């Protein structure tokens, strides 16, 4: 759960700082301030301007770098593994995903897997359409006058033969199970459990998105902190900060041991260096707290023995006077105040 104890801590610090003014003339929360204080001239003290601004607080969430959930890359081939990818490799359309019996299995972009042998005489189907679409995207359909539809023709066979020859496969014009593997775009190899010499079915290749992201388990009680599309700042272990965007918020999940409910949140990073999966990072969320309010540094507050707060205002005559104020939101080292004071006034802060 996100801690909000910092507000109490700031208040406690202000009370401690104000202990030295406990003997000042009584200034209750609503009592009028006294006339000018005969203290040291303001010119000899450090002062800051009272400003009108928006205040925002920053919540820090624990995150971990990753590449999203992994999915298996199934090699629907028969034979012996003779080459495998390495974790971290990126497999894109046209790349060799693995080798079986010395022949490459080529990755292509498509929505569904190859489930039957494709070649002359095959019945029309969406798998034919997918193959012809891929051939067109790679330039083979245009070269061999293939009409991109769900009908396998002699032109399709010629285009497949050319593709197979260019990619080191048996150029027989037929696509057997296991010659191709379809992915939904470039993928990153997350894990390989198989070893060379095993059957192709035991390759154990798992892939993820190539896009580096941050995973956050957001306490369900703080669900209003983030919405889809929100921009955040991510602090890396080096101290460098990069921007991120909330791209996914999952359904609540409850930890059975603790009973704590959390929401899985995915933050996509912009311009971030590559980090190992699991690297811890801080996700900073800026929360608007108060708009167009008068604000001073928190250390300018003086806690009065009688209760309430005041600030020491520098006057035009070079002296200072205490002005009772009502305290609002604390954020970013500043505090919202209300009272007989205006923007542009200068208040004393400790050196």
Domain boundaries, the chain: 5-55+291-348, 60-67+212-288, 71-209
Share of the chain above pLDDT 90, in %: 77
What is the pLDDT at residue 338? 96
pLDDT at 199 over 60: yes
On average, the pLDDT of the chain sits at 88
Residue 26, pLDDT > 70, answer no
- Condensed to tens digits (0 to 9), the pLDDT of residues 216-230 reads 999 999 999 999 999
Q: Given a cut of 60, is residue 38 above it in pLDDT?
A: no
Q: Is the pLDDT of residue 16 over 70?
A: no
> So what CATH class is 60-67+212-288?
mainly beta
Judged against a pLDDT cut of 60, whether residue 138 lies above it is answered with yes
Across 277-290, average pLDDT: 91
pTM listed for this prediction: 0.65
> Could you tell me which residues are beta bridge partners of residue 177?
none
Q: Look at residue 270 and tell me whether its pLDDT is greater than 90.
A: no
Reported CATH class of domain 5-55+291-348: mainly beta
Tell me the per-residue pLDDT of 117-137, one tens digit each, with 9 for 90 and over: 999 999 999 999 999 999 999
pLDDT of amino acid 20:
38
Mean per-residue pLDDT for 242-246? Answer: 96
Residue 152 has pLDDT above 90, yes or no: yes
Can you give the pLDDT at residue 258? 85
Over residues 42-90, the pLDDT tens digits come to 446 899 999 999 998 889 999 999 998 899 999 999 999 999 999 999 9
Query: Residue 348 pLDDT more than 70?
Result: yes
Q: pLDDT value at position 44?
A: 65
Residue 40, pLDDT > 60, answer no
């Amino acid at each position: 759960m996100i801690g909000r104890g910092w507000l109490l801590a700031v208040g406690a610090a202000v009370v401690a700082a104000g202990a030295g003014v406990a003997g000042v003339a009584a200034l209750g929360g609503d009592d009028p301030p006294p006339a000018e204080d005969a203290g040291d001239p303001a010119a000899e003290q450090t002062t800051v301007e009272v400003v009108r601004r928006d205040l925002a607080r920053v919540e820090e969430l624990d995150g971990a770098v990753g590449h999203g959930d992994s999915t298996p890359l199934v090699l629907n081939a028969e034979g012996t593994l003779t080459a495998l990818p390495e974790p971290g490799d990126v497999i894109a359309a046209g790349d060799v995903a693995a080798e079986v019996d010395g022949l490459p299995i080529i990755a292509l972009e498509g929505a569904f897997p190859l489930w039957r042998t494709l070649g002359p005489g095959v019945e029309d189907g969406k798998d034919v359409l997918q193959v012809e679409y891929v051939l067109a995207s790679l330039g083979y359909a245009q070269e061999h006058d293939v009409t991109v539809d769900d009908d396998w023709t002699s032109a399709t066979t010629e285009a497949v033969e050319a593709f197979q020859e260019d990619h080191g496969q048996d150029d027989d014009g037929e696509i057997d199970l296991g010659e191709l593997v379809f992915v939904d775009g470039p993928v990153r190899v997350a894990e390989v459990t198989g070893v060379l010499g095993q059957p192709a079915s035991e390759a154990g290749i798992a892939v993820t998105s190539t896009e580096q992201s941050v995973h956050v388990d957001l306490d369900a009680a703080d669900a209003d902190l983030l919405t889809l599309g929100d921009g955040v700042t991510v602090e890396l272990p080096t101290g460098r900060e990069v921007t991120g965007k909330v791209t996914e918020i999952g359904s609540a999940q409850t930890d059975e041991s603790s009973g704590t409910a959390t929401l899985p949140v995915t933050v996509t990073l912009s311009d971030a260096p590559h980090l190992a999966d699991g690297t811890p990072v801080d996700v900073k969320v800026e929360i608007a707290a108060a708009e167009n309010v008068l604000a001073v540094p928190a250390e300018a507050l003086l806690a009065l023995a009688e209760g309430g707060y005041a600030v020491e205002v520098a006057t035009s005559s070079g002296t200072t006077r205490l002005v009772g104020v009502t305290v609002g939101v604390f954020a970013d080292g500043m505090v919202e105040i209300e009272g007989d004071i205006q923007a542009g006034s200068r208040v004393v802060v400790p050196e």
